[in-house]
Amino acid sequence: MKQYLKIELKKAMSKWFWFVVLIGTGLTLFNNYEIYQNVEQFFEVYQMAGTYAQEEFVGLSLFGNWIGCESMTLGFSLFFFLFPLLAAMAYGWSFHSELKRGYIKNVTTRTRKMNYYAAKYIATFLMGGLAVVIPLGINMLISLLYSNAAIPDVIYQYFSMGHGSLWSGMYYSQPFLFCVIYLFVDFFFCGSIACLSMALSFFAKNRITVLLAPFLALLAVDYLRWKIMEVLSISYEVSPIRFLHPTPYPLSVSGNIIFVWGVFLFLGALLICLIKGRSNDIF
């Protein structure tokens, strides 16, 4: 299986994958541009006044300005709307393409069918996560060029994290650790979304359906989220499109809800691939 995993990873790290990463990075750059404009305005006021308030200094913090911790820029809106599609585009379509071309028939003459499926699943998961996390990481690094590392302060309006939200204490005490951990959460979810596209390949007739179905399903959940919250009698965010943004908007985030969604997406995709993979007659 290791041999085929290496093959799959080499296939996955294609020009197409890096093109998807480039698209995601381009979306995040809208955030960098808009925030940098705000920073320039701050320094113009500072030069005229000759001083600045502590509130304004804290407002330049990385932990309120990078795309994972703000909810005002065009970059934020575009990226955290399209990220499920980026995850699926990275490598989620590959299995469908190979299934339709009969490529699996050639592979299974040289190795067990489940070795191929396992290698494909792992590669799809990794590429889906990386396609989203790499642009976020690049955005954070660029933000460091014009932001300071001031610890967020709850008394200032620049930070949207509420005390009732997931890991809020960590955000206000160890914000960098908070951001890194949340990147791992996003990686896991986006990898699972990509694998869901792979699982749908057993049923879908065309590649467009494989790419769009998870994205449209999450959009439907986002559209119906207030009704879902009413039915379940909860006040926490239930839409992955919203709670995968590290700082919540406008509702707080519950770790239990994230856990349930994570299990549902990951195990759902995995079980479909295991059941259909074992029963699917490739010949």
pLDDT tens digits for range 118-160: 889 999 999 999 999 999 999 999 999 988 888 887 777 667 7
**What pLDDT score does 125 carry?**
96
- At residue 134, the pLDDT reads 97
pLDDT-derived band at 222 (thresholds 50, 70, 90) equals very high
pLDDT recorded at residue 280: 63
Report if pTM > 0.85. yes
Q: Closest by alpha carbon to 13, among 119, 131, 93?
A: 131
Give SS3 for 61: strand
Does 105 have pLDDT greater than 90?
no
Please give the residue that has the higher pLDDT: either 43 or 186.
Answer: 186
Query: Residue 89's pLDDT is what?
Result: 94
List Cβ neighbours of 31 (8 Å cut-off, separation of 6 or more).
Answer: 66, 67, 70, 73, 74, 75, 76, 79, 139, 143
Of 128 and 5, the structure prediction assigns the larger pLDDT to: 128
What is the structure's pLDDT at 168? 85
Give residue 53's pLDDT band: very low, low, confident or very high (50, 70, 90). low
CA 197 → CA 41, 86, 98, 144, 216, distances in Å?
Answer: 44, 12, 14, 35, 12
pLDDT: which is higher, 259 or 59: 259
In this structure, which amino acid lies at residue 176?
F
CA distances from 206 to 33, 57, 94, 128, 197 (A): 38, 52, 12, 20, 12
Return the number of other C-beta atoms located less than 10 Å from residue 268's C-beta.
14
135/46: higher pLDDT: 135
In degrees, to the nearest 5, what angle opens at C-alpha 35 toward C-alphas 32 and 38?
150
Task: Spell out the domain ranges in the chain.
Answer: 2-279
SS3 of the chain: helix, strand, coil, percent, to 5: 70, 0, 30
Could you give the C-alpha distances from 256 to 13, 189, 234, in angstroms and in order? 34, 15, 12
What pLDDT shows up at residue 194?
96
CB-based contact 186:179 (threshold 8 Å): no
How many Å apart are CA 225 and CA 214, to the nearest integer?
16
Q: Between the CA atoms of 71, 74, 78 and 83, what dihedral angle is there, to the nearest 10 degrees?
A: -50
Q: How many CB atoms lie within 10 A of CB 242?
A: 18
The region of weakest confidence among 63-67, 153-157, 256-260 is 153-157
The arithmetic mean of pLDDT across residues 64-85, rounded, is 92
